Each structure stands twice: as structure tokens, then as C-alpha cells.
């Protein structure tokens, strides 16, 4: 009896490590790819001192967003909340870009500076130690959020099940 429990616990633990580990690796890869192709440009646009440079950076980000069809929907799995609204986020980025495009080239330095400050305040949030680009949570894996939710939980369930069987086999009777 104990040897079959031992084998079962090892199988579930290994399955959990493989499933959860692959989930974590793919999430990390998708997050880095999204940072490289989108949020990195948004962050650069928000920290530049030049309207033209900000416009170019924001255009690169929006080009990626449109090419990957990240323009509408919600990133939520169970229920929708306003902070997961992709349409609002995309519209905010487009409006910011339009504001940069519509600024008069002969505008004063103060007007340009105010536009760049407004841009920074609407695109990033300043934490205690870092700057965070405002995006809907889970956007890096959209539209596969439900799949990733199930995949991650499945890995956790296998790990917990394997650990529970491991503990049960060494429980003194």
C-alpha cells in the first residue's frame, strides 16, 4: 500500500512541477515579449522630454497593439472589472497619441512640457521603488487568459495532491 502511495505522490508531484513550471515559463516569456514590444515603448514615451520622440515611441506601441488585436475585450476570467477593460486602455493610448500629434509645432516649451507631464501621468504610475506602465492585468496572455488560468490551477492542484499523498503515506497509523 505504501509503495503505491509513494509512486502516486511522486507522479503527481512531478506532473505538478512540469505543468506549473511550464505555465510559469510561458507566462514569463509572454510577459517579457509584451514588455519588449509594447510597455517598453509606452514607458519610453512617458519619460522623454521631446514631443516628437514621445509620439514615435507611442506609435510603435500602438502599432504592436493593433497588429496583435489587443484593442477590445476584457482580460478577466471570472467577472469583468473596469481595470481589465482593454478598450478603455487602448482608447486612452490613442487619445494620448492624438494629443501629441495635435500639439502645435510652434507651441511654447511650457505647453509641450505640460503635454508631456499629462502623458506621463496617464500612462504610468510611480511606485515607491519603480515605475509601472498602466495596463489591464493579464494583457500579456490575452486572449488566452482562461486557458492560462486553468493551466496554472491544474499545476497547483497536482502539486497539492502530490504533497497530500506524500504526507498521508508517512502518517503514523
Q: Is the pLDDT of residue 1 over 60?
A: no
Integer Cα distance of 146 and 34 in angstroms: 18
Structural domain of 72: 2-169
Q: At 129, is the pLDDT very low, low, confident or very high (cuts 50, 70, 90)?
A: confident
- The per-residue pLDDT for range 148-168, each reduced to its tens digit, is 999 999 999 999 999 998 888
Q: Given this model, what pLDDT does residue 17 score?
A: 96
In sequence order, which residues have a C-beta less than 8 Å from that of residue 70 and are 6 or more positions away? 38, 86, 90, 139, 142
**Cis amide linkage into residue 143, ω under 30° from 0:** yes
Mean pLDDT, the chain, rounded, equals 93
Q: Are 162 and 11 in contact (CB under 8 A)?
A: yes
Share of the chain above pLDDT 90, in %: 86
User: Quick one: how far is CA 11 from the chain centroid?
Assistant: 32
Q: At 128, is the pLDDT very low, low, confident or very high (cuts 50, 70, 90)?
A: confident
Name the one residue in this structure whose C-alpha cell is 515605475.
Answer: 131
Indicate the number of domains in the chain.
1
- The per-residue pLDDT for range 25-66, each reduced to its tens digit, is 999 999 999 999 999 999 999 999 999 999 999 999 999 999
In sequence order, which residues have a C-beta less than 8 Å from that of residue 126 and are 6 or more positions away? 132
- The per-residue pLDDT for range 72-102, each reduced to its tens digit, is 999 999 889 999 999 999 999 999 999 999 9
Integer Cα distance of 68 and 93 in angstroms: 15
Picking from 166, 159, 160, 158, the residue whose alpha carbon sits closest to that of residue 9 is 166
Write the Ramachandran bin of 69: left for phi over 0, alpha for psi from -120 to 50, otherwise beta: left
Q: Are 13 and 163 in contact (CB under 8 A)?
A: yes
Helix, strand, coil percentages in the chain from 3-state DSSP, rounded to 5? 75, 5, 25
Q: Given this model, what pLDDT does residue 130 score?
A: 85
Amino acid at each position: 500500500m505504501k509503495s503505491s502511495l509513494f509512486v502516486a505522490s511522486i507522479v503527481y508531484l512531478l506532473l505538478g512541477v512540469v505543468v506549473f513550471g511550464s505555465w510559469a515559463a510561458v507566462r514569463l516569456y509572454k510577459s517579457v515579449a509584451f514588455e519588449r514590444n509594447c510597455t517598453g515603448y509606452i514607458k519610453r514615451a512617458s519619460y522623454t522630454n521631446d514631443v516628437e520622440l514621445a509620439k514615435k515611441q507611442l506609435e510603435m506601441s500602438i502599432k504592436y497593439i493593433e497588429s496583435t488585436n489587443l484593442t477590445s475585450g476584457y482580460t478577466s476570467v471570472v467577472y469583468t472589472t473596469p481595470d481589465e477593460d482593454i478598450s478603455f486602455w487602448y482608447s486612452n493610448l490613442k487619445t494620448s497619441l492624438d494629443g501629441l500629434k495635435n500639439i502645435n509645432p510652434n507651441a511654447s516649451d511650457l505647453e509641450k512640457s505640460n503635454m508631456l507631464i499629462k502623458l506621463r501621468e496617464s500612462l504610468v504610475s510611480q511606485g515607491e521603488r519603480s515605475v509601472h506602465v498602466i495596463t489591464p492585468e493579464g494583457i500579456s496572455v490575452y486572449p488566452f487568459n482562461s486557458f492560462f488560468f486553468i493551466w496554472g490551477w491544474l499545476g497547483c492542484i497536482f502539486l497539492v495532491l502530490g504533497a497530500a499523498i506524500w504526507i498521508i503515506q508517512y502518517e503514523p497509523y
